[in-house]
Amino acid sequence: MRKIFFTLMVFTIIQQTKAQHTIIPAPVNYVQTSNELVFNSLNIRTDVNDKDVDRFTRQFKQYLSAKGFTKQTNGTQKTIEVSQNKKKNPKLGNEGYNLEINAQGIFLTANKAAGIFNGYQTLKQILPVKKEMETTSLKGCKIVDYPRFGWRGLMLDVSRHFFTVDEVKAYIDLMSQYKFNVFHWHLTDDNGWRIEIKSLPKLTEKGAWRVERHGKFDTEELEAPKPGEKATYGGFYTQEQIKDIVRYAAARNITIVPEIDMPGHSMAALAAYPEFSTKKEPKYVSPGNKFAEWHNDGTFTMLVENTLNPADEKVYDFIDKIFTEVAQLFPGEYIHMGGDECYHGYWEKDPEVQKFMKKNKIKNSHELQSYFVKRVEKIISKKGKKMMGWDEILEGGLAEGAAVMSWRGMKGGIEAAKMGHEVVMSPTTYAYIDYMQGDPTVENTIYASLSLEKAYSFEPVPQGVDPKYILGAQANLWTEAVPTLPFAYYMTYPRAFATAEVAWSQKKDKNWNDFIRRTRVHFDRFDAENLNICKAVYDPEVKVYTKGDKLMCELTNSVPGSEIYYTINNTYPSRFGKKYTGAFEIPAGKLDLRTQTLLNLKPIGRELRISREDLQSRAKK
């Protein structure tokens, strides 16, 4: 009994000391020690002779200086000793590191430069946001850390809305602080072509600009261009700017995967070169006006032709020119060719395409798309790159050597991995960060939702799949409803914390309560840095249903210790009102449900105010 008691006590102490850190993504092993480092200023000393380490160190020094940690105002300067393992520690791989903080100083070691970079990011999170007092003290700790996956990605769509060079850099810099290492850059789509291709100048002269509209994409709210109307919204990146961003990303351990989306999503390219469609009609870059009819079975009819013509040999010359330049600009291993949501209707109606299919014994439009993808794969691999595409590239037969990014759930990824292809998992169900993260009454409404908790529950390796084929995980930010960088941050964070942790931390360490505890600390850090972040996790989740002729309501909130107060009498929902304890009826009448979450009797998150009419319509869905 005593032994059990002792074991329990030791276990509790270990649990408690383990729970002290606030690092995201959680490191593999963190042990708090009893000593403490006290300093007035920090400097860095390294004997590593490596240009990448130099670059990372220079940058980290700048960070320390900007935050006031290098400024000496009394004698206690301490040193961050940075070294490279002479004998490689196999556990740490290329990106892992050891970090120790003790009374003497800070000690960072790694096998490779990338590990040192990641160690610096951890240290940033251990330090206060900026130096606020004469002396800073840090708790002693020993950290062993390395990633679970080699692909930890975020995708930013710069076609639906354009982000400037400085904005793209800022997005990259912030993601690197959470140890993401892939920036998937969605550079082309129906709404704008954003990359300079010198041999095809019209792509940016025409394809980068559209008429300006405000409203919801793909609805009648947005009008098609009027005759003679000037295209004023947009922009593109020159090749010099792209090289600059590639260098900037590399200096943050980030590889850029460029995406040139084809054969669908090509309206901007076709606005520049309509001859590469079947109808060869003049086109405009879509300002987001309604362009598709969506059917109940998930299929759609494109009202405007936005597909390249796979039966035209000149189209492959065009693609070759594009990828020749893309491959020269991006040093990474992969080029993404899209392949998603390609409408086949114009191919099916075109006599030349039909003739081509007959001649080449292509039985249907899926096989025709597969023919196209295989030709593109050959073009890309000739440039020394691996081709990646969205999971539609599986349809009609997957190109040899192609890697698949699974977005319509995990099914496509599972199928590709079972065929021995590399896979990145980024399913809508866990990783689409353009979806709403809170109640539609307080969010910018789009058609689907993804809560932080759901994003955190993502497991990228499905049962029965050999993990060696799963490169990693990625979250995607489509920007139809994301017009600015601060709003891009709002949509990305904190769900990207979840993705970072899914992709970096050990599966066995998944722990929602601990994750939310650390997330709350990062809410404060974002506030202190004046960065936008969504705190919808504090709001209640509202579920309504009918029971007989009654309209019933359930409220949940997954922040440990939180309490939800609500009213259905049009008064303010304070702690003097009704505390939620279980499902309740929303009575008939002209009233609103009003809710407020409290933690330690203090309001957290936003007040929700939902009309009975709205609740009633939700119950019907």
**Paired tokens of 34:** 């009893």
Q: Which residue has the tokens 């709403």?
A: 436
Least CB distance from residue 534 to ligand ACM, whole Å? 21
Helix/strand/coil for 542: strand
Of the two residues 258 and 573, which places its CB atom closer to ligand ACM in the complex? Answer: 258
Of the two residues 392 and 443, which places its CB atom closer to ligand ACM in the complex? Answer: 392
Looking at residue 26, what DSSP letter applies? P
Distance, first Cα to last Cα, the chain: 56
Asked if 161 is an active-site residue, the reply is: no
Q: Which residue is nearest to ligand ACM (CB)?
A: 340
Least CB distance from residue 209 to ligand ACM, whole Å? 23
430 interacts with ligand ACM by CB under 6 A: no
Set 189, 340, 391, 539: catalytic member:
189
320 interacts with ligand ACM by CB under 6 A: no
- Vertex 428: Cα angle to 423 and 431 (nearest 5): 75
Pairing verdict, β 541-547 and 470-477:
unpaired
Of the two residues 40 and 479, which places its CB atom closer to ligand ACM in the complex? Answer: 479
350 interacts with ligand ACM by CB under 6 A: no
291 interacts with ligand ACM by CB under 6 A: no
Identify each DSSP E strand in 309-364 by its residue range: 334-338
CA nearest 547: which of 582, 585, 581, 580?
A: 585
Least CB distance from residue 182 to ligand ACM, whole Å? 16
CA nearest 162: which of 101, 207, 128, 130?
A: 207
β-bridge partners, 577: none
CA nearest 224: which of 181, 259, 256, 271?
A: 271
β-bridge partners, 596: 565
Residue 550's CB is within 10 A of a number of other CB atoms, namely 14
Of the two residues 265 and 612, which places its CB atom closer to ligand ACM in the complex? Answer: 265
Query: Applying CB under 6 A, what is the total number of residues that bind ligand ACM?
Result: 4
Pairing verdict, β 41-46 and 541-547:
unpaired
Looking at residue 118, what DSSP letter applies? H
Least CB distance from residue 532 to ligand ACM, whole Å? 24
CA–CA dist 604, 370 (Å, integer):
51
CA–CA dist 25, 288 (Å, integer):
36
Of the two residues 99 and 256, which places its CB atom closer to ligand ACM in the complex? Answer: 256
**Amino acid letter for position 151:** W
Asked if 265 is an active-site residue, the reply is: yes
Least CB distance from residue 621 to ligand ACM, whole Å? 23
Set 52, 341, 415, 509: catalytic member:
341
Residue 372's CB is within 10 A of a number of other CB atoms, namely 27
Least CB distance from residue 344 to ligand ACM, whole Å? 16
- Among 341, 415, 509, 614, the residue binding ligand ACM under the rule CB under 6 A is 341
Instruction: Count H helices and E strands in the chain, helices first.
Output: 18, 27
Least CB distance from residue 554 to ligand ACM, whole Å? 31
407 interacts with ligand ACM by CB under 6 A: yes
Q: Which residue has the tokens 């922009």?
A: 235
State how far Cα 527 lies from the chain centre.
20
Least CB distance from residue 186 to ligand ACM, whole Å? 9
Set 265, 336, 421, 522: catalytic member:
265
Least CB distance from residue 301 to ligand ACM, whole Å? 16
Of the two residues 341 and 415, which places its CB atom closer to ligand ACM in the complex? Answer: 341
**Paired tokens of 329:** 């600009």
CA nearest 401: which of 389, 413, 386?
A: 386
CA–CA dist 382, 542 (Å, integer):
53
Of the two residues 340 and 541, which places its CB atom closer to ligand ACM in the complex? Answer: 340
Of the two residues 154 and 537, which places its CB atom closer to ligand ACM in the complex? Answer: 154
Least CB distance from residue 184 to ligand ACM, whole Å? 11
Of the two residues 160 and 522, which places its CB atom closer to ligand ACM in the complex? Answer: 160
575 touches 565 (CB < 8 A): yes
Asked if 312 is an active-site residue, the reply is: no
β-bridge partners, 192: 189
**Amino acid letter for position 293:** E
390 interacts with ligand ACM by CB under 6 A: yes
Residue 142's CB is within 10 A of a number of other CB atoms, namely 15
340 interacts with ligand ACM by CB under 6 A: yes
Helix/strand/coil for 128: coil
β-bridge partners, 470: 423
Of the two residues 392 and 439, which places its CB atom closer to ligand ACM in the complex? Answer: 392
Of the two residues 392 and 541, which places its CB atom closer to ligand ACM in the complex? Answer: 392
274 touches 284 (CB < 8 A): no
Q: Which residue has the tokens 């979806």?
A: 435
Residue 47's CB is within 10 A of a number of other CB atoms, namely 8
Residues in contact with ligand ACM by the rule CB under 6 A: 340-341, 390, 407
The residues assigned a catalytic role are 189, 265, 341
